[in-house]
Every structure is written in C-alpha cells, then in structure tokens.
C-alpha cells in the first residue's frame, strides 16, 4: 500500500486534540449530569453494586471487590478515584443524602482518611435502591457499550429526585469547575411538585419551598438577601457561619461552644481553626480566651473556648467570625452537563430538566408496563376462548402428528393431515383464528386449569388486566394523570426519607471589629544564630543581659508598633510587624524567621537587621561583593510591602556583604583577597536610590576581589589580626575612593 502524507497546520491539530481532551474530562469525568446529579464514576459504582446484588438488606461486601469490579467493567481510570467516590457517597457529613452504607473506617469530619479498601465494606442504602436504581429492568434508560464494548452500562440512572440539588456536587474540569451546595430533600421535592403544578413558576416562587442550601454540618447562611440572585443565575457566594452557643459554668465562668461548623471547615480546616484561635491568643488579639479544647465526638461537633471572668462573649464571638474560618464563603457555581454539554443552570432550570427527565422515564416505564399487560390480555383472552372449545382443541391435538400442525390449525384453521372423529369438528376447526402467542399458551396450558374455580380466577385476572390497561393508557395519554402519578411517587419518597432542615437561613451584616488601640511600649527583639526570633520586655532583657548578649546574634531595642527590617545577601528586605513576633518569657524558644516572612535560609543569608524607625532618619551604607558601594536614605525602606528589592546587584553572582548605618560610621576600610587595604571617609560615598547599583569602592588588580569591609565609627580603635600580626585599621592613611590601597 502506497504511503499517503497528509499535510496539516500544527496549531489546528493541537487545538482539536485539546478540545477533544477537554470535552472528555468535562463530560465523562468531572461534571455531574443534570438528570441524575451523578458523575460517571458515581453512576458506575452504584450500578455495579446493584449488579453484584449488594442491597441494603443483604450482607456487606468488601470495597476492594466493588472497586475492582467497577474498574474492570466500566471505569478504567484507577482504583483510587473509584474508592474515593465510594467513600464520599457514604459520608453523612459531606452528602445531604448518603447513597452508600459503609461498614468500617470511612474517615471523619476532622479530616481523617478512610481505611484502605481491603479493610472496609459497603452496601447500598435503601433510598439508593428504591429511588436511584428502581425499574432499571424496564428499559427506561438507555444503555451504552462500556470502554471495551464487552458490557453495557446505563447512560444515566433513573433517579426520581433532583439529586443534583439534594447532594450537591463539586468537581474541577478543564477550564471550568462546579460547586453546588446540598439542599433539603423535603424542600426540593416540594419545589418540584410546585413546578409540576405550574410550569410557569418563577425562581422566586420556587424559593417559597426551598429556603436555601441545607448543609449536612448545619451552620448558618447569613446572606439571605443574595440567595434570589444566586439561584437565578446559578453562581454567587454564600456566607456561612458556624453555630456558637454561650454556656455558663460555676463561679461565673463563661464558655463559647461551637456546636456546628461551616461546610467549608470539614477536614483539616477544623485543626486550622484551633491554630488560628491559639494565634489570636498568642498575639494578644483575644486575651479573653484562656483555654480551648476540642470535645467533638460521634455525637457531633463541640469545640469549647473558656473565657475570662467578665469577658464580653458577644465581642469574642464576632472576633472569631472575623478572624477565623468560623465564618467562610462558599462559592456557588451550578455547572452541570445538560443535553450533552456543560451549562451553568439556575434553580428553575435544574428542576425543569429533572421534571422533563421524570416524565420521560415515567412514559417509558408505563409504555413497558402497558405492553406487558397487553400481552397478558392477549393470552388471557385466548385461554378464555379456548375453554369454550376445549373439546375441539383436544380432538385436534389427538388427531395431529406434530406441534406445528396443531399451531397451524389453531392460528390459521389448516386441517390437512389431522384425523378428526367427526366432520363437524373439522368444519369448526377451520374457523379457529387464535394468535401465535395464544396458541403457545393453549399448548402449554395444564389440565387443572379446566377446573371451574380456575376458569373463574382466569376471568377475574382478565378483568384486573383490563383495568390496568385502561389505567396505563390514561397515564400515557393524559398529562394530568401522569403528573398525578409522578407527584404521588415524590410524596411517598418525601414521607419516608425527608428530614428536618439543619442549616439556618438568615441575614446578618458583615462583622466589623473595632480593634482596641495598641498600647505603645518598648520591647527588645532577640534573634539567635539559628534564626529563632522573639520579643521580650526590656526589664526581662536587662535582668538576663549577659546571657542574652552571648546567645543572640541580633538584639534590637524598639517600640512594639515598629517594623523589623531584615536585609539579606540577595539584596532583599523582609519587613515584619513587631506585634507579629511572639512575645513572652526570656527562655521561650521563639519562632523561626522563615515562618514569619518569605525569607529562606537555604537560598539567602541575613546581613543586617534593624527596626524601621532606626533607619528612617539615617543613611544606609550598602557594600556588595563586586566592590560596589552607595548610601541610601533610610526613608526609602518605609513601604507597605512585606518584601522588596533593597538594592540592585551588579550581576547574578554578586551579593551584599555589608550594610551599616551612616550615622555610626566615619570611615570605611576595604580589604581585598590579595591583601590590599583602602581606607576612605564616608564623605567619598555618593548617595543613590535603592534601585541603583552604586559606585566602585576600590580599584582591584587583576583577579583580585573584595573580601571584607570594616565600618569604623568616630574614635573607634579597631585592630585586626592579619597574617599573624596585629593591624590597626583606624591608623591607616585615608585615601580616595576607587584607589588601589596599600598592600600589607
């Protein structure tokens, strides 16, 4: 076969491939279908459990068996995704209506993961079996080939409630994501019944039945006024709060008890909430809290905060809402697959799509039932007719040589080859006209059916069948009748499975905290050689001065309202509010500087540390390894940003080696690697902006570089040891900047 080369634009191929991939992820992986509210992995897992017969009234089966069977037959995307979906469908703190009954460790609300699938067991919940998977045998949903075309899987499950609203959904696709909150089952069914009664009902009308989201963790939705716009557009933000109660103990003690948490706090965020409260206490923003304990159990959430005697409990509650995740936002984006494509749907659209789906599956169900009853009627009428001519039928059977000969006679009146005892019988046989189905039923009929009581029962069954046929035809041909059947079915589901609302819907203004003015006081900041930093009272420092001076590399006196400025060899300046530093006892370890700012000890080293107020009215001397030097006004470093570029370096290999205050320096001594020393007055150094590189301090010989710089103050006697000899720096002759210096 001759090779054929197809020329195409590369960008077109990439565009088509990416669109195909994106649509595959969107439709077949990440987004739920608006009809059953399930993602493909959830749908396949539930269907596989039904196929395996793991019903609510049967023993549990190992999750590993369920996951393996689902992966092998329907979902070839790895066992972890299937097991994760199975676990979430069993967690009553994530789903408004759990679909799987889990046995074993299926995780906790505090973020503990489920045990491995080989240890846990599961089975279907009763509601899943009766509301999500019922009537699958009646052909009411379309079946499609699986990934290798060896099995058939349902395109959608015949879910009889709007599961997209009841259980919500979350998922990240390509370029889009869905986040739908769960709702109350009873309220959603009432809204759907209202839509069936009046198809022109508005979103506002539906919201008379659906108050708002109903999270399984309870809590309070506090922006009720925003709900109509959210439900109309299908997108918006919910403000949700935990429920906090005030309890009083002995001796006037007060306790704030968190009994319900926001839905977004599920998992690790409970631990983060406890840490945030501890931080508030440590930073003295919540001094009224003297103890915090997590007393949560299987009975529910209970986080207890003990308050000081006489504390303002309402103020502390508002502080928790403002400063922690006890009040959080839930971003609503009601994105689902509708008619084969992703679409953001409002509340009315979701219910409309599901009602259409209900009418569709109900039509298919009653069409199948009608067909079955019509077949039954045909057989019953044939048997009743056969009872009237049973003697003739027996004569035909006895006179025939084969089953086909009897059938031909019963259906078409063909008598050739049949031995009749009487001519009258042969003549009567020619008038027989049973259908094929009736003829088969007659030939399979047992003799006891000829008993009088059996014939009466047959007539009664035929009467019941006729009633059913009339009822099914009425349902299929009359919209009101079908609507009545669907409504009755929904009411039955509501009666058995509805539960009281958990989430309270109200309107509350955004919490505004009037922070008490900070009482200005002097502190001493201590930073040891390992980068641990803390602040202490000046009295504490003076009491332990000798130990503090020997154990700490940087000691700065400043006010607690000041900022700590940390300059590194990378030419960066990190600023930290002094109030953010841990304040405590002298022997407290402190906090690593890495945890308080973006400083990383693995990539940069601290060169200079000072308080902002100390450098604002001064000049800073910058000296880099490439021999560049400059003066910068300290006010340039009074910025709001926590991280800035403090100076520009000559190249990528260059780094800062020294920074000093101009007010404490009279002369500078530069030392090169080859032993040249140059002493210059500070007046030789020009003042530049922080974005400038600076000027050359010393004219190096070939392959020589700057090794050290010494900043000498007025009258300072500075002697160093160089080549095993003392060298007095302040007695060196003063030279000019950019000179070579004197070799020692």
Q: Which residues are catalytic?
A: 119
Say what the alpha-carbon torsion angle 342, 343, 345, 351 is, to the nearest 10 degrees: -60
- DSSP helix/strand/coil, 533: strand
Say what the alpha-carbon torsion angle 267, 271, 273, 279 is, to the nearest 10 degrees: -160
Q: Evaluate whether 674 touches 701 at the Cβ level (below 8 Å).
A: yes
Q: What is the DSSP letter of 666?
A: S
- DSSP helix/strand/coil, 487: helix
Between CA 65 and CA 75, with CA 69 as vertex, the angle to 5 degrees is 130
**What's the token pair of residue 472?**
């099914």
Cα 472 from Cα 367, distance rounded (Å) = 8
Q: Which helix (H) or strand (E) holds 659?
A: strand 656-661
Cα 15 from Cα 11, distance rounded (Å) = 6
**What's the token pair of residue 554?**
């940087």
Q: Are strands 235-241 and 220-221 parallel, antiparallel or unpaired?
A: antiparallel
Contacts of residue 138, Cβ cutoff 8 Å, sequence gap at least 6:
364, 365, 368, 369
For tokens 């100390």, the residue is 614
**What's the token pair of residue 66?**
């369920």
b/e code 377-394 from CB counts within 10 Å (16+ = b): bbbbbbbebbbebeebbe
H/E/C letters for each residue in 534-547?
A: EEECHHHHHHCHHH
Name the burial class of residue 589, with classes exposed (0-12), middle (13-18) and buried (19+) by CB atoms within 10 angstroms of its CB.
exposed
Q: DSSP of 401-451, one letter per residue?
A: SSHHHHHHHHHH---TT---S-HHHHHHHTT----HHHHHHHHH--GGGGS
Q: What is the DSSP letter of 212?
A: S
Cα 642 from Cα 34, distance rounded (Å) = 47
Q: DSSP of 688-732, one letter per residue?
A: --TTS--EE-B---TT--EEEEEEE-TT---EEEETTEEEEGGGS
**What's the token pair of residue 679?**
């002493």
Cα 68 from Cα 211, distance rounded (Å) = 41
Q: Which helix (H) or strand (E) holds 282?
A: helix 268-282
Cα 297 from Cα 135, distance rounded (Å) = 40
**What's the token pair of residue 372?**
């079955």
Of 42, 142, 134, give the one whose Cα is nearest residue 95. Answer: 42
Q: Evaluate whether 291 touches 306 at the Cβ level (below 8 Å).
A: yes
For tokens 């050689």, the residue is 529
Cα 259 from Cα 162, distance rounded (Å) = 29
Cα 169 from Cα 427, distance rounded (Å) = 72
Cα 472 from Cα 482, distance rounded (Å) = 9
- DSSP helix/strand/coil, 13: helix
**What's the token pair of residue 104?**
């074993």
User: How far from chain centre, in Å, is Cα 677?
Assistant: 63
Of 173, 155, 174, 191, give the one whose Cα is nearest residue 38. Answer: 155
């Amino acid at each position: 076969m001759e090779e054929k080369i197809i020329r195409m634009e590369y960008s077109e191929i990439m565009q088509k491939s990416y669109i195909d991939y994106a649509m595959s992820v969107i439709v077949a992986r990440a987004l739920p279908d608006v009809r059953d509210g399930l993602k493909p992995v959830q749908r396949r897992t539930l269907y596989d459990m039904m196929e395996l017969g793991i019903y609510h009234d049967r023993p549990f089966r190992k999750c590993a068996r369920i996951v393996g069977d689902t992966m092998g037959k329907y979902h070839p995307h790895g066992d972890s995704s299937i097991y994760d979906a199975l676990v979430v469908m069993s967690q009553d703190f994530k789903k408004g209506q759990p679909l799987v009954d889990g046995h074993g460790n299926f995780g906790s609300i505090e973020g503990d993961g489920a045990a491995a699938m080989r240890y846990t067991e599961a089975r279907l919940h009763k509601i899943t079996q009766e509301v999500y998977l019922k009537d699958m045998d009646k052909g009411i949903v379309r079946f499609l080939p699986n990934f290798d075309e060896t099995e058939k899987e349902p395109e959608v499950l015949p879910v009889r409630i709007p599961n997209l609203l009841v259980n919500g959904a979350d998922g990240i696709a390509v370029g889009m994501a869905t986040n739908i909150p769960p709702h109350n089952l009873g309220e959603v069914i009432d809204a759907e019944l209202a839509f069936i009664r009046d198809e022109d009902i508005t979103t506002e009308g539906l919201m008379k039945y659906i108050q708002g989201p109903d999270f399984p963790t309870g809590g309070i939705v506090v922006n009720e006024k925003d709900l109509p716009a959210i439900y109309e557009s299908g997108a918006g933000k919910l403000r949700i709060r935990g429920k906090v109660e005030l309890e009083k103990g002995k001796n006037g003690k007060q306790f704030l008890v968190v009994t319900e948490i926001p839905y977004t706090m599920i998992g690790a965020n409970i631990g983060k909430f406890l840490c945030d409260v501890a931080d508030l206490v440590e930073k003295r923003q919540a001094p009224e809290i003297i103890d915090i304990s997590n007393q949560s159990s299987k009975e529910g959430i209970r986080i207890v905060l003990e308050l000081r005697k006489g504390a303002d409990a309402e103020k502390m509650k508002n502080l928790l809402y403002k400063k922690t995740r006890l009040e959080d936002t839930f971003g609503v984006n009601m994105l689902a697959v509708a008619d084969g494509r992703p679409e953001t749907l409002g509340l009315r659209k979701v219910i409309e799509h599901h009602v259409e789906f209900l009418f569709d599956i109900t039509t298919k169900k009653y069409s199948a039932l009608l067909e079955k009853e019509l077949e039954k009627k045909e057989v019953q009428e044939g048997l009743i007719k056969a009872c009237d001519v049973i003697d003739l039928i027996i004569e035909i059977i006895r006179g025939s040589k084969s089953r086909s000969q009897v059938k031909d006679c019963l259906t078409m009146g063909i008598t050739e080859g049949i031995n009749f005892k009487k001519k009258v019988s042969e003549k009567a046989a020619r008038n027989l006209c049973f259908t094929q189905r009736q003829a088969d039923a007659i030939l399979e009929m047992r003799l006891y059916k000829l008993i009088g009581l059996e014939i009466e029962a047959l007539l009664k069954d035929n009467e019941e069948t006729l009633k059913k046929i009339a009822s099914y035809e009425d349902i299929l041909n009359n919209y009101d009748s079908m609507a009545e059947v669907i409504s009755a079915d929904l009411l039955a589901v509501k009666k058995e499975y509805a539960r009281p609302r958990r989430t309270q819907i109200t309107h509350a203004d955004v919490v505004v905290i009037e922070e008490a003015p900070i009482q200005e006081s002097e502190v001493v900041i201590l930073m040891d050689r390992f980068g641990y930093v803390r602040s202490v009272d000046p009295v504490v420092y003076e009491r332990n001065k000798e130990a503090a001076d020997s154990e700490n590399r940087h000691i700065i006196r400043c006010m607690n309202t000041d900022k700590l400025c940390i300059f590194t060899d990378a030419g960066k300046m990190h600023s930290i509010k002094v109030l953010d530093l841990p304040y405590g006892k002298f022997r407290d370890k402190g906090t690593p500087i890495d945890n308080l700012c973006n400083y990383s000890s693995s990539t940069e080293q601290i060169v200079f540390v000072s308080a902002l107020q100390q450098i604002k009215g001064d000049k800073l001397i910058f000296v880099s390894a490439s021999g560049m030097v400059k003066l910068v006004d300290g006010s340039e470093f009074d910025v709001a940003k926590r991280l800035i570029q403090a100076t520009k370096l000559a190249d990528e290999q260059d780094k800062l080696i020294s920074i000093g205050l101009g007010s404490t320096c009279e002369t500078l001594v530069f030392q090169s690697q080859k032993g040249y020393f140059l002493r210059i007055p500070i007046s030789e150094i020009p003042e530049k902006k922080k974005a400038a590189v600076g000027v050359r301090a010393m004219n190096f010989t070939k392959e020589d570089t700057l090794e050290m710089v010494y900043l000498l103050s007025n009258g300072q006697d500075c002697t160093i040891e160089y080549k095993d000899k003392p060298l007095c720096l302040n007695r060196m002759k003063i030279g000019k900047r950019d000179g070579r210096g004197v070799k020692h």
